[in-house]
Amino acid sequence: MRRPVPRTLRGQLTAGLVALLALACLAVGITTALALRGFLMGRLDGQLTASGGRFAASLEHEAEPDADNRPDTRGQAESTFGARLLNGTVTQAAVVDDATDRPLRLTPRDRRALTRIPVDGNGHSIRLTTLGAYRVMAVQGDDQDILITGLPLHPVEETVHRLEAVEAVLFGAALVATGIAGALWVRISLRPLQNVTARAAEVAGLPLASGEVAMPGPLPDTDPRTEVGQVGTALNHMLGHIADALTRRQASEERLRHFAADASHELRTPVANIRGHAEFALRHHGPVPADVRHALERIDGESQRMTRLVDDLLLLARLDAGRPLENEPVDLTLLILNATDDARAAGPGHRWLLDLPEEPVTVTGDAHRLQQAIGNLLANARTHTPPGTDVTIALTTGPTGVRVDVSDNGPGIPEEIQPEVFGRFVRADHARSRRTGSTGLGLAIVHAVITAHGGTATVTSRPGHTNFRLTLPD
């Protein structure tokens, strides 16, 4: 199982600081333990050298003990080990116990270990079965024998272990204290970075796609001498560029919006005049050549289409400018019934199906604009699906608001234009759209009207099923 790795920069810096300190403590602990062990071993070797094998040499007289030939234990520390080897065989072995010698029974393994000790006057560590770990030294005796003297390693090991325990406690406490202090220090040091993150999150939450956006001010206290300060300075420059770009975009949109509104206003009068003259000419009682009548009918049809285009452009310009809509109770059920009746009259070749709740559904908004939005959806379904297509209008209520779904089993919307289907002048079939008189602004008006009411407009489509969903707050 993998250990969890800190994901935040603060956690990584704190963990790295503690890890480096732990490595330093480990190195110090190992070095001091080895140094102390080496020092104590050197003292043991000095004691062995000072003894000169005197205790081991006195063991050869132990076979006939008397007052003059007892083993010499003078100056020998308790647990001092002595052994005598002759011709590669251990002849005597004893250990000092309460200032007296005690014969020692050696195992075959102990005897083999003693015979392998180099006779070089240096200390060597061995482990005896009956005594444990010992530091021994072998020297050449006067009788062609080998004298081995040893001291126990238990005091050395105990002292080293005590040092290791003390270091573990001290280093552990130091690591805990360093971890807490390091976390606080890193937190304080990275506080400007948290301000950068908060400011970036604030900008990311702004509606930058459209409309006038109030950008937050620059970050204060950005010291370019520090890495965090450099990040803050770069963010301030970026925010400045974004604010400048948004201001220019807003100004461009305002100019375009004013142009569309002004142009639409200016076009309404000449378009109305053209349409009036065409209708007057078509009502002429005298004989009119067929080609002239056809031209007049085309002028009348195109003037009606241009009138709808001008009206749609004016509506979008008003909605883009944030003009307030009416805010009254609207019987959405009745509105859908009326829009469906109009669609059924305009498209008798389609099957218009209703799925409405038993009780009327009421929302707050602009009844005229909502009816226009739903009517545009039904007109879109009638225009872009062949006769015989089933078009279902469903009205449902839920915790997220009121939903109006207009679905059909027609050919569907090409996948490449679905992300832009609510854009302006977006057409799946340019030739058919022009022939049917569509302005290319119907779905754009749907999206603008629903958005102005605080709702959403979405579409899902595949061959055989297309669904437009309008969601309104209840």
Q: How confident is the model over 315-336, as pLDDT tens digits?
A: 777 776 667 778 899 999 999 9
Give the number of C-alpha atoms closer than 13 A to the C-alpha of residue 15, restricted to the C-beta side: 10
Structural domains in the chain plus CATH codes: 11-159 (3.30.450), 328-472 (3.30.565.10)
pLDDT digits (tens, 9 = 90+) for 29-78: 999 999 999 999 999 888 888 877 777 777 765 544 444 455 555 567 78
Q: Cα separation of 161 and 235, whole Å? A: 56
Q: Which pLDDT value is given to residue 335? A: 92
Q: Cα separation of 77 and 59, whole Å? A: 16
Q: Which pLDDT value is given to residue 2? A: 56
| Those residues with Cβ within 8 angstroms of residue 44's Cβ, 6 or more apart along the chain or in another chain | 123, 135, 151, 153, 156
Place of tokens 């009606």: 304
Question: Any idea what DSSP says for residue 460?
Answer: E
Q: Which pLDDT value is given to residue 336? A: 92
Q: Which pLDDT value is given to residue 65? A: 46
For residue 349, report the phi and psi dihedrals to the nearest 5 degrees: -80, -10
Q: Which pLDDT value is given to residue 259? A: 67
Q: Which pLDDT value is given to residue 468? A: 94
Question: For residues 330 and 370, is the Cβ–Cβ distance under 8 A?
Answer: yes
pTM here is 0.48
Q: Which pLDDT value is given to residue 195? A: 76
Question: For residues 92 and 83, is the Cβ–Cβ distance under 8 A?
Answer: yes
Q: Which residue stretches of the chain have pLDDT < 70?
A: 1-7, 60-75, 98-101, 207-213, 221-222, 252-253, 255-268, 320-322, 426-439
Q: Which pLDDT value is given to residue 428? A: 54
Q: Which pLDDT value is given to residue 391? A: 94
The distance of Cα 168 from the centroid of its chain, to the nearest Å, equals 37
| Those residues with Cβ within 8 angstroms of residue 64's Cβ, 6 or more apart along the chain or in another chain | none
Amino acid (one-letter) located at 231: V
